[in-house]
């Protein structure tokens, strides 16, 4: 007997092929059959006429490792149709770590607003981290990458220098261990210390370890504004020098000087592919980015960790130079008026969340540079920001490219619990926004092409062999959605609003959403590369 039988669905199988009308049966966590007028009894028969059935969406670039211990159901992702999220992106991550609290890594992750478990980091490697997540249960699957920052911190702390030969060998060994334990690849965050301290040679050496394991190199490249061409060239060089598969994270053209350059950036990737480098990209469909406010502070000021950063900001001897460089960086990002502060945690500054740096500076009667420094000092480094610095025409051009996958760059949230905190709407709306705005309304993409970007394409980049398509024998990670209702409801003004239009969501054949409502089930797990 089948567990589910979806009758008369508009089937979009994840390959990019045109939709067909078909029945799909699910049994024992797998897709049991696909066809017309399927025979056989089922525990639940779903009339799917007029609805789209497709593979569950794969968020190739997520950050829910920031919030998993608070939100194990990953509700804001599930309600978009996501059944698997790739975590450990932008060089961040929770392993390898020092047991007994995490040591320097825990301090570093708090700077990036990670919510750590109440009992601290009690694991040392991916095996221990995955065991902890699987013990507690997850609403959807997560597929971990190794963060480059934890590798460096475990080996040489936050030092701003190249690794010695023995240190590089230790990083390679730690990476190999994580890959043997099931990591799908390694990520870098080359604008964030300590990743920004790594030279290209260090990255090529680590990428060769990835290549030997058939794993992915995913990179938040070294620059996304006026030096983006050189940053892309570095990513290409890493692929060419190692043979690794390269994924450029959240490809964008940021800042006024880059407006209209999306086509040029895409052509650069196409040229590299023609020369034999396996390189592609992903994107979120918004014209604003989000990260920590400390991203506008010069990289040299981050050396030796958070306490050293705060000391430099407070030091009059270094403060003038730091403020000057902060001003330059804000200008590259379209200025203080386009930088909106999020996540102020102190009682004295909580009301400033949602205000622009320019308005905060006006309120305080100081320069925008001084306002940034004061905020970072008073929040002890832990303050976020949204940067409105991209053009819609570039967002659309990148989205239209068939080689670009969809990744939210967001983390799992819960509207009831997190609703008072400003955040980027991508954590709630990314996948629904593509289908509602760019497929149904603007017709930039066909339905089949868009769903491929969320399913078959990322599955192929990651090396998933058992999910990402609707085929008999594959894992029954499936989403049933209403193509007329699917839409992102989250906005910059009201970001904590769940997407509309998801009718059913199955993870390994078990319902996470039924008739538009969360079931509370936790069938998700940590996916490990074999």
What's the pLDDT tens digit per position in 5-38? 999 999 999 999 999 999 999 999 999 999 999 9
Count of C-beta atoms within a 10 Å radius of residue 136: 11
Q: Does the pLDDT value for residue 474 go beyond 80?
A: yes
Helices (H), 213-315: 228-242, 262-274, 306-314
Q: Which residue has the higher pLDDT, 438 or 119?
A: 438
What's the pLDDT tens digit per position in 390-439? 999 999 999 999 999 999 999 999 999 998 888 999 999 999 999 999 99
- State the span(s) of the chain assigned CATH 2.30.40.10: 2-56+471-485+492-518
Instruction: Decide if 62 contacts 407 (C-beta within 8 A).
Output: yes
Instruction: Decide if 171 contacts 152 (C-beta within 8 A).
Output: yes
Q: Bridge partners of 52?
A: 10, 481
Residue 99 — very low, low, confident or very high, per pLDDT cuts 50/70/90? low
pLDDT at 100: 62
What whole-number distance in Å separates Cα of residue 285 and Cα of residue 481? Answer: 20
What's the pLDDT tens digit per position in 199-224? 999 999 999 999 999 999 999 999 99
Q: What is the DSSP string of 36-55?
A: SS--S-EEEEEE-TTSEEEE
What whole-number distance in Å separates Cα of residue 311 and Cα of residue 302? Answer: 10
Give φ, ψ of 257 to 5 degrees: -70, -15
Q: Bridge partners of 442?
A: none
pLDDT at 175: 99
Residues written for the chain = 530
Which residue has 């407070």 as its token pair? 314
pTM given for the model: 0.94
What distance lies between CA 291 and its chain's CA centroid? Answer: 12
Strands 146-147 and 141-144, how do they pair?
A: unpaired
Q: Bridge partners of 390?
A: 254
Q: Which helix (H) or strand (E) holds 507?
A: strand 502-507
What's the pLDDT tens digit per position in 296-333? 999 899 888 888 999 999 998 888 899 999 999 999 88
Q: Does the pLDDT value for residue 335 go beyond 70?
A: yes
Looking at every residue in the chain, the average pLDDT score rounds to 96
Q: Does the pLDDT value for residue 78 go beyond 90?
A: yes
Instruction: Decide if 512 contacts 443 (C-beta within 8 A).
Output: no
Phi/psi region, residue 420 (left: phi>0; alpha: psi -120 to 50; beta: rest), is: alpha
pLDDT at 104: 87
DSSP state of 202: H
Instruction: Decide if 82 contacts 458 (C-beta within 8 A).
Output: no
Going across the sheet that includes 245-248, the strands are 146-147, 185-189, 216-220, 245-248, 279-283, 404-406
Kindly state the tokens that stand for 325. Answer: 């460089």
Q: Does the pLDDT value for residue 102 go beyond 80?
A: no
Read off the pLDDT of each residue in 160-183 and give the average, rounded to a whole number. 98
- State the span(s) of the chain assigned CATH 3.20.20.140: 60-290+389-462
Instruction: Decide if 526 contacts 130 (C-beta within 8 A).
Output: yes
Give φ, ψ of 318 to 5 degrees: -105, -15
pLDDT at 455: 99
| Angle made by CA atoms 292, 254, 320, in degrees to the nearest 5 | 55
Q: Does the pLDDT value for residue 149 go beyond 70?
A: yes
Q: What is the DSSP string of 82-110?
A: EEEEEES-TT--S-S-BTTTBHHHHHHHH
What whole-number distance in Å separates Cα of residue 93 and Cα of residue 97? Answer: 9
What whole-number distance in Å separates Cα of residue 232 and Cα of residue 313? Answer: 31
Instruction: Decide if 111 contacts 306 (C-beta within 8 A).
Output: yes
Read off the pLDDT of each residue in 448-469 and give the average, rounded to a whole number. 99
Is 2.40.30.10 the CATH classification of the domain at 2-56+471-485+492-518?
Answer: no
Instruction: Decide if 63 contacts 22 (C-beta within 8 A).
Output: no
Instruction: Decide if 231 contacts 190 (C-beta within 8 A).
Output: yes
What's the pLDDT tens digit per position in 257-297? 899 999 999 999 999 999 999 999 999 999 999 888 999 99
pLDDT at 256: 84
DSSP state of 509: T
Q: Does the pLDDT value for residue 101 go beyond 80?
A: no
What whole-number distance in Å separates Cα of residue 352 and Cα of residue 386? Answer: 13
Strands 517-518 and 42-47, how do they pair?
A: unpaired
pLDDT at 364: 97
pLDDT at 344: 85
pLDDT above 70: percentage of residues in the chain: 99
Of 300, 295, 250, 321, the closest CA to residue 387 belongs to 295
> What CATH number does the domain located at 60-290+389-462 have?
3.20.20.140
Q: Does the pLDDT value for residue 442 go beyond 80?
A: yes
Q: Which helix (H) or strand (E) holds 326?
A: helix 316-332
What's the pLDDT tens digit per position in 62-71? 999 999 999 9
CA dihedral (64, 65, 69, 71) in degrees, to 10, reads 10
């Amino acid at each position: 007997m089948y567990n589910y039988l979806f009758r008369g669905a508009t089937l979009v199988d994840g390959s990019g092929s045109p939709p067909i009308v078909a029945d799909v049966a699910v049994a024992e966590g797998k897709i049991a059959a696909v066809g017309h007028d399927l025979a056989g009894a089922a525990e639940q028969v779903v009339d799917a006429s007029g609805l789209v059935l497709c593979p569950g969406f794969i968020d190739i670039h997520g950050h829910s490792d920031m919030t998993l211990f608070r939100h194990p159901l990953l509700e804001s992702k599930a309600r978009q149709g996501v059944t698997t999220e790739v975590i450990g992106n932008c060089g961040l991550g929770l392993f390898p770590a020092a047991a007994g609290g995490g040591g320097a890594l825990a301090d570093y992750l708090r700077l990036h607003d990670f919510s750590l478990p109440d009992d601290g980091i009690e694991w040392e490697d991916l095996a221990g981290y995955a065991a902890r997540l699987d013990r507690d249960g997850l609403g959807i699957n997560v597929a971990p990458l190794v963060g480059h920052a934890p590798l460096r911190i475990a080996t040489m702390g936050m030092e701003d220098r190249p690794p010695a030969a023995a240190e590089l060998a230790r990083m390679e060994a730690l990476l190999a261990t994580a890959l043997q334990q099931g990591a799908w690849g390694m990520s870098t965050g080359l604008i964030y210390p300590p990743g920004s301290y790594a030279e290209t040679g260090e990255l090529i050496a680590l990428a060769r370890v990835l290549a030997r394991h058939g794993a992915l190199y995913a990179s938040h490249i070294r620059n996304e504004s006026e030096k983006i061409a050189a940053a892309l060239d570095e990513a290409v060089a890493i692929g060419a020098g190692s043979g690794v598969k390269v994924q450029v994270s959240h490809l964008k053209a940021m800042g006024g000087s880059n407006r209209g350059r999306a086509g040029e950036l895409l052509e650069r990737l196409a040229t590299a592919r023609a020369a034999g480098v396996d390189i592609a990209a992903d994107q979120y469909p918004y014209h604003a980015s989000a990260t920590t406010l400390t991203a506008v502070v010069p990289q040299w000021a981050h050396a030796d960790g958070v306490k050293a950063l705060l000391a430099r900001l407070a030091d009059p001897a270094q403060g003038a130079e730091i403020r000057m460089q902060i001003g330059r960086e804000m200008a590259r990002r379209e200025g203080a008026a386009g930088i909106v502060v999020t996540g102020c945690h102190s009682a004295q500054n909580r009301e400033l969340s949602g205000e622009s740096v320019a308005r905060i500076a006006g309120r305080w009667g100081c320069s925008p540079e001084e306002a940034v420094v004061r905020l970072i000092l008073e929040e002890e480094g832990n303050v976020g920001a949204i940067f409105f610095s991209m053009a819609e025409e570039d967002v659309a051009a990148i989205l239209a490219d068939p080689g670009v996958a969809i990744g939210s760059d967001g983390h799992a949230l819960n509207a009831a619990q997190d609703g008072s905190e400003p955040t980027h709407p991508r954590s709630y709306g990314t996948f629904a926004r593509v289908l509602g705005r760019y497929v149904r309304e603007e017709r930039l993409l066909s339905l089949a092409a868009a769903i491929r970007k969320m399913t078959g394409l990322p599955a192929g980049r990651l090396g998933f062999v058992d999910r990402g398509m609707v085929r008999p024998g594959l894992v029954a990670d499936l989403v049933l959605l209403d193509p007329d209702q699917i839409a992102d409801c989250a906005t910059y003004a009201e970001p904590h609003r769940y997407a509309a239009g998801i009718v059913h969501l199955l993870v390994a054949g078990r319902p996470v959403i039924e008739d538009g409502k969360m079931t509370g089930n936790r069938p998700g797990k940590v996916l490990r590369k074999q």
